[in-house]
Structure 1
Amino acid sequence: MGRGWPEVGEGWFMVPMRAQKRKEAFHEPRLHRDNCLLQVQHRIVLASSWFRCAIVRSWKLPMKRQIFPILGYQALTFVFATDQPPKTNEPLKQEVYVWQRTWNEPVRESIARHASQFTRLVALGAEITCKPTRRQVVRVAIDYTMLCASKRPIGLALRIGTYPGPFESEDEAAMVVVEQALSLIAEARANQLQPSELQIDFDCAESKLDGYRVWIEAIRRKVAPTPVTITALPTWLNRTSFKRLITAADGYVLQVHSFERPKDAETPFALCDPAVAQRAVERAGQLGVPFRVALPTYGYVTAFDRDGRFVGLSAEGPSKSWPEGVRLREVRADPVALARLVQSWTTDHPASLAGIIWYRLPISEDFLNWRWPTLSAVMAGRGPRESLRVETHRPQTALIEVSLVNDGDADCSSFPVIAARWENARLVAGDGLRGFELLETGPTAAQFRRKSDHDRLSPGERWKIGWLRLDKDAEAQVEIK
């Protein structure tokens, strides 16, 4: 997942100022079926107009002659209506990617706690970098015992970076890919895990989908009977070669999230446009091949120079060091918009849409990824809500510690003023923490105000935002203003 951008645990990178967006050498024509459909629809519109005129004129004719234009118009209406893909309101399966390259304790803990909420887990097993002169393979040390204990079907993912070709079934590049596919399946079976699928995530150029099919056919022959599925982009749907590609596979995942390089720091951008995702799913439904749709939970930190030009981004992981003068901006998956999208599919979706797969499983160390309460709400088609409350603690006489608690299921990024009042005492010291500053507003009153909204208070988290020391013990009222 990610289509060439940094992923979990990867560092930041710089983009040349004059780098041009790569364009394909040529574009294949749209699906012949679409061309024919457009022609048929055009003829239907023309014909239906003729029939309407014929119906109007036919009222002056005898009854026997009136019926033929009416029947013809009804027949055309039936043809046009039945072109739409079949719809259903059957429940959608909910799956999740385990895409972490390092299986540390937070990953294991998240699987132990939340695997039961999904119908399947798909774990990243290996990544291949294919260059014209060399092949590099990075394997992930998967904890198969933990996956087996989840009692859920487990898929394995093989990620392949960009590769321009050539594509042959038995050349060096193909052999590396096939060998890694076989090795992943064998490793899983040796650890008492029978994979439910092998998912290939290849950064394939649109003009190379027929070459990609050669690889899929070779992989599928070698790993049978394990099903082989692929990830696909919405832009592939109108390619004739895509229909041949998904026919060669056992299914596909439509990835409707991506990061488009912004023009400047002020340009609005999103990881997933719900309207675009909706159209892509409807278009995929017309193909009649079972598929799942991948939705995002992650975020990026983007960087811009003093002139507002995009220079790079970083994904989940330790904070990066950026050059001086760089302006940072976060872009995150929008849980409210995606909850509405999930809700719309709950009531009506193409019959060939089998489920949703989330990228990726939340862990406690995440900063840019959703936390579990947020994902749980969105999976149910419910927009997450913020719910802040203030707490006070008295560790010593006349000392008051003030904390904020997020009882909701959405991150809090903007914070209200916290007001404190007391009687019969004088403030002798105090301070704000976690980006809050302390302001005295009177002899017996003070406020905590947020200076920066960079950090987010995640669901279930508690922040100590400041403290007050009075000259003597006194009751204090602290509240959200």
Structure 2
Amino acid sequence: MKRWATMAAILLLALAAGLSGRYQALKFYPAWDQQVYLWQRVWTAQHATALAASHDLFSTLRVLGLQVHPREGYREIPVNTPLLKQDGRPLWLVVRLDGQLKQLDETVIRQRLLQQLQRWQAAGLTVVGVEIDHDAAVARLPAYQHFLQQLRQQLPTSLQLGITALPAWMDSPALSGVLQQTDSSVLQVHAVLSPQQGLFDGPLALRWASQYARISTKPFRVALPAYGMGLVGIDAQGAQVESEVSLRVAGATQELSVAPQQVADFLRQLAARKLPRLQGIIWFRLPLADDRRAWSLTTLRAVINNQPLTASWQVKFLPQQNGLYDLHIYNDGPVDAPLPREIGINTGNCLAADAVGNYRLETTAEQLRFIRISNAQLRTGQSRPLGWLRCQQLTPGGTYVTP
């Protein structure tokens, strides 16, 4: 009996240790609600695939339904309402009011918004809230407060009203009045601060989130990037931002991307802060198969589930003719990753070579070095041209990749 009691005690201790380890792992990421933006202005058949594949990952969809722009005017987004009804998840109608608008035509905006809302409800969509996305200048926050106050009075009481909030607003005493008109808000911590700073600065985003948690008396979420973008038409006057849709602008282009590991590191630090009223994360944006700047859903899932984000690269030599090879860098790892900083090929039998795209070539007597000159994200399972070379003989195993 004493022997069985001892064994039972050992088993209980082992079980407790195992459960404790598992509990710590689960506790590492709080039970944050995960939502996602659908921001495409043109809906395609790929939306059905993306929605079905993400059904277990995101509780709620935030769908761009109306845009007001100083040049384009009012644009109702023709979303696929039968598809959203079939999907069945709760929806937020997102209304984008461009920050360049000289003033808000409040009456017309509310009218257009309510008309779109009624169309969605008539189509059987489960609309639970309206989110206003407006990059208002700090000086115009009092006017924005008035707009939200009037909108709140016209919205059905069954619907929530939310806004996106900018870090630049946090030093303004007018922010509290804006937030009082809402049920919740979304702190946006990703933006093009400058080409040098990129789209996302983890330590800065952490400071913003901590500061916002001290200011907001309402529940809030943090919007995080799962995409990249291009700065196109770069000249002395600046550049235009190109995201999921090509702007077809002539001139230089610079790609800005966010590495999944950057965001994963931020999430771990954010979880450790245990910020009050922080309810969850909203991801921008739902990945479609042909959205070359968005992370793949596989990568987004790995980041959300706190899985390892190990990159793996392979250089492919594609023979053409007469000793000519096209070179491609291939991402055969489990997650998307930034292009490697350098690829080296050891060979002394090459007659000519050159780099293309994101790389430039440095040549020595025994080595070709393809050095990255512009960054980009490469999805898992995809490849990108690296360059070409003409060699009499390739050295087996003579290739190295520096992430």
TM-score calculated relative to the size of structure 1: 0.64
Matched, 1:143 2:64: no
User: Could you tell me which residue of structure 2 aligns to residue 302 of structure 1?
Assistant: 231
Contact 1:432 1:448 in 2 (8 A): no
RMSD of aligned residue pairs (Cα, Å) = 3.9
Contact 2:360 2:372 in 1 (8 A): no
The aligned amino acid for 2:226 is: T
Matched, 1:191 2:120: no
Larger strand fraction of residues: 2
Structure 1 residue corresponding to 2:35, chosen from 69, 75, 95: 95
Contact 1:285 1:351 in 2 (8 A): yes
CA distance in 1, matches of 2:361, 2:191: 41
User: Could you tell me which residue of structure 2 aligns to residue 312 of structure 1?
Assistant: 239
User: Could you tell me which residue of structure 2 aligns to residue 180 of structure 1?
Assistant: 112
Structure 2 residue corresponding to 1:458, chosen from 379, 390, 394: 379
CA distance in 1, matches of 2:363, 2:143: 69
State the secondary structure of the residue aligned to 2:240. Answer: strand
Change (3 A) 1:218 1:130: farther
CA distance in 1, matches of 2:300, 2:276: 24
User: Could you tell me which residue of structure 2 aligns to residue 480 of structure 1?
Assistant: 399
Aligned-pair identity in percent equals 25
Structure 2 residue corresponding to 1:248, chosen from 178, 181, 186: 181
CA distance in 2, matches of 1:438, 1:295: 35
CA distance in 2, matches of 1:159, 1:399: 51
Change (3 A) 1:439 1:347: closer
CA distance in 1, matches of 2:212, 2:273: 15
Task: Report 1:28-39 matches (<5 A).
Answer: none
Q: Which has the higher contact order (CA 8 A, sep 6+)?
A: 1
Q: How many residues align?
A: 364
Matched, 1:290 2:219: yes
Matched, 1:226 2:152: no
State the secondary structure of the residue aligned to 1:116. Answer: coil
Kindly state the Cα deviation for residue 304 of structure 1 after the two structures are TM-superposed: 8.1
The more displaced of 282-291 and 295-304 is 295-304
Larger of the two Rg values belongs to structure: 1
Matched, 1:269 2:197: yes
The aligned amino acid for 1:298 is: Y
Change (3 A) 1:418 1:291: same
The aligned amino acid for 1:480 is: T
CA distance in 2, matches of 1:457, 1:434: 16
CA distance in 2, matches of 1:130, 1:403: 43
Change (3 A) 1:438 1:216: closer
Contact 2:318 2:327 in 1 (8 A): yes
CA distance in 1, matches of 2:183, 2:353: 61
Change (3 A) 1:477 1:149: farther
CA distance in 1, matches of 2:143, 2:211: 23
User: Could you tell me which residue of structure 1 aligns to residue 68 of structure 2?
Assistant: 128
Kindly state the Cα deviation for residue 348 of structure 1 after the two structures are TM-superposed: 3.3
1:117-169 deviation digits (Å, cap 9, x = unpaired): 112111100102369xxx9210111012222333422211011123444x7xx
The aligned amino acid for 2:208 is: A
CA distance in 1, matches of 2:185, 2:397: 54
User: Could you tell me which residue of structure 2 aligns to residue 260 of structure 1?
Assistant: 193
Unmatched tracts of structure 2, length 5 or more: 1-27
Contact 2:346 2:395 in 1 (8 A): no
1:15-66 deviation digits (Å, cap 9, x = unpaired): xxxxxxxxxxxxxxxxxxxxxxxxxxxxxxxxxxxxxxxxxxxxxxxxxxxx
Matched, 1:278 2:206: yes
Contact 2:343 2:371 in 1 (8 A): no
State the secondary structure of the residue aligned to 1:104. Answer: coil
User: Could you tell me which residue of structure 1 aligns to residue 94 of structure 2?
Assistant: 157
State the secondary structure of the residue aligned to 2:174. Answer: helix
TM-score calculated relative to the size of structure 2: 0.75
Unmatched tracts of structure 1, length 5 or more: 1-87, 168-172, 263-267
1:420-477 deviation digits (Å, cap 9, x = unpaired): 89xxxx99x99889669999999xxx98764765565421114576899999xx9994
Change (3 A) 1:230 1:463: closer
